[in-house]
Amino acid sequence: MGKSVFITGASSGIGRSCALRFAETGAELILTARRHDRLQALAEQIRNTYQTIVYTLSFDVTHAGEMQSAIESLPRHLRCPDILINNAGLALGLKPFHEASYDHWDTMIDTNVKGLLNLSRFISPMMVQRGSGHIINIGSIAGKEVYPNGNIYCATKAAVDSLTKAMRIDLLPYGIRVSQVAPGAVETEFSVVRFEGDEERAKSVYAGYKPLSAGDVADVVLWVAQQPPHVNISDVLVMPAAQASASIFHKKF
Ligand code: NDP
Ligand code: 8X3
């Protein structure tokens, strides 16, 4: 492949698996997240296994200034990657609307929506100037359908769904492809984060059926990225075979 790929949220789950999948193709990687140690360990594993170039940047996507300084520390040719994968995101809590935490709302909106906006707004002008690029946003089934107590998380992913369409329209004249991969249930650290470290509760989300793995989703992201230049996979909804909609699962206990 030989492309440069910038991945947010590469310290865990889907982002980490994307890093490994793209590394196999020989891509130059820019891996970002807040947890520096995890990024370093992953970068070392990738360099040793695939002999590919990997840069790591530790920043919080909600801090636009921090993000911009981190990108400016990269060699000039990597500041505008061929592919940007906007993956960093999280859910916090699962409470009815009238009981949900204001702090959780702020963090989800700032991370899932403003984080994606900050980064895309910073990098897309460079793609426009170059006349090429591919932005792949990780949405969710939660952005297409609302489920009980999902309220603000679902709304942030609906925003990702809308922004993907908006970016595709506005960046169309400049040779920039914009895609969304929207997964159903994927077993990662997502539910441990959502339930603030409650491992048992997190495990129960994936009990009785086979969820997607982060690698399953990374395979789809790689497929989207590997299409010929005249093809854009605009939107992929990928779910476990045991999931029919945001809240309907076939579970066997
Ligand atoms: P994980 O919790 O395993 O990974 C989330 C990643 O996002 C981590 O690398 C984390 O890194 C990063 N991240 C979170 N907040 C920030 C922040 N403020 N700044 C920078 N990085 C941040 O979950 P998943 O891999 O499952 O989630 C990845 C994406 O997939 C998310 O957008 C999620 O909404 C989406 N998704 C997940 C599904 C699932 O069922 N798991 C289904 C559909 C979509 P660090 O903590 O080191 O900063
Ligand atoms: C993550 C999937 O259904 O738990 O976006 O919200 S879900």
Question: Which CATH number belongs to the domain containing residue 129 in this structure?
Answer: 3.40.50.720
- What's the mean per-residue pLDDT of the chain? 98
Residue 243 falls inside a structural domain: no
Of 50, 102, 153, 174, the catalytic one is 153
| 194 neighbors 154 (Cβ within 8 angstroms) | no
User: What value does the mean pLDDT take over residues 102-124?
Assistant: 98
Residue 234, classed as helix, strand or coil, is: coil
Q: Which domain holds residue 229?
A: 4-238
Residue 209 falls inside a structural domain: yes
Nearest Cα residue to 93 out of 207, 193, 200, 160: 193
Residue 252 falls inside a structural domain: no
Residue 99 falls inside a structural domain: yes
pLDDT reported for residue 211: 98
Residue 247 falls inside a structural domain: no
Residue 249 falls inside a structural domain: no
The Cα 7–Cα 5 span in angstroms is 6
pLDDT reported for residue 1: 64
Domain count, the chain: 1
The answer on pLDDT for 6 being more than 70 is yes
The answer on pLDDT for 38 being more than 90 is yes
Residue 44 falls inside a structural domain: yes
Residue 94 falls inside a structural domain: yes
User: What value does the mean pLDDT take over residues 226-234?
Assistant: 98
Closest C-alpha residue for ligand 1 atom 18: 60
| Residue 11, ligand 1, Cβ within 6 A | yes
The answer on pLDDT for 199 being more than 80 is yes
157: tokens are 């992913």
The answer on pLDDT for 80 being more than 90 is yes
Is residue 174 annotated as a catalytic residue, yes or no? no
| Residue 140, ligand 2, Cβ within 6 A | yes
Q: Give 90's pLDDT tier (boundaries 50, 70, 90).
A: very high
Model pLDDT for residues 158-184, shown as the tens digit of each residue = 999 999 999 999 999 999 999 999 999
